[in-house]
Structure 1
Amino acid sequence: MRSYNINKGIGRTVEFKGLKAQYLFIFAGGLLGMLVLVMVLYIAGISSYICLALGAGGTSLIVWQTFYLNKKYGEHGLMKIAARKRHPRYIICRKAIPRYLKIIPKAGSI
């Protein structure tokens, strides 16, 4: 009878070079956006040195910022921050108190 290796990575989050979860999408999207920006600037006739400087500077900023966010907030940190922003700070109740204490008769008792 043959023995097969069991995949131990089922249920774990995706990780690449220490970046986890949504930070991979931010990282890949940022790099792709920088590539498109540099290509558009080069086609528009901007000097190639300026394009290279903007590309290198922007790419290094994206790399630094995504690794910083990953280290600071962790795997689910950005989702927690977004949820906290959508959560109300307090609940306002503007109805009169007797309106909450109103007794509603049952259907069969008249």
Structure 2
Amino acid sequence: MGIVYQINKGVGKPIEFRGLQGQYIAYLAVGLVVLLLLFTGLYLLGTPLVALLPLVMGLGAALFFGVFALSKRFGVHGLAKFMARRGIPVYLKFSSRRVFTGLRVLQGNKERQARR
């Protein structure tokens, strides 16, 4: 018999680069581009390199540590789930019962249409 080769072994797995998973790679890339633009803008405005380099290096280190911490804490999809959960209201307040009675009428209409 011939040798069986596995094709597309990585299908369904999240993208990973040096410990960063999924969207965190993009967050780091965008942050680095912003840092580059910040450095360029401040340099063109005449900021001395003695003050500029420690600032950019410090912000870059904070960016790296922050993105790696988010990746480690939340994983591939955890940050999106965390942000979505924060958007859910704690409770809903209605001043009338019309919302609920209207649901019953709509449910009855759907059941009648399904019987036909």
The within-5 A match list for 1:60-99 is 60-96=61-97
Unmatched 5+ stretches in structure 1: none
Report the equivalent of 1:26. 27
Amino acid corresponding to residue 49 of structure 2 in structure 1: S
- Secondary structure of the corresponding residue to residue 91 of structure 1: coil
Q: CA RMSD in A?
A: 2.5
Q: How many residues align?
A: 103
Amino acid corresponding to residue 87 of structure 2 in structure 1: R
Report the equivalent of 1:11. 12
Detail structure 1 runs of 4+ shifted over 4 Å in the superposition. 1-5
Report the equivalent of 2:45. 44
Give the Cα–Cα distance (whole angstroms) in 2 for the partners of residues 43 and 62 of structure 1.
23
TM-score, structure 1 normalization: 0.80
Give the Cα–Cα distance (whole angstroms) in 1 for the partners of residues 85 and 4 of structure 2.
48
As a proportion of its length, which structure holds more helix?
Answer: 2
- Does 1:57 find its partner at 2:58? yes
Unmatched 5+ stretches in structure 2: 110-116
TM-score, structure 2 normalization: 0.76
Give the Cα–Cα distance (whole angstroms) in 1 for the partners of residues 93 and 43 of structure 2.
54
Give the Cα–Cα distance (whole angstroms) in 1 for the partners of residues 74 and 4 of structure 2.
41
Amino acid corresponding to residue 32 of structure 1 in structure 2: V
Deviation at residue 96 of structure 1 after TM alignment: 3.9
Give the Cα–Cα distance (whole angstroms) in 1 for the partners of residues 79 and 5 of structure 2.
38
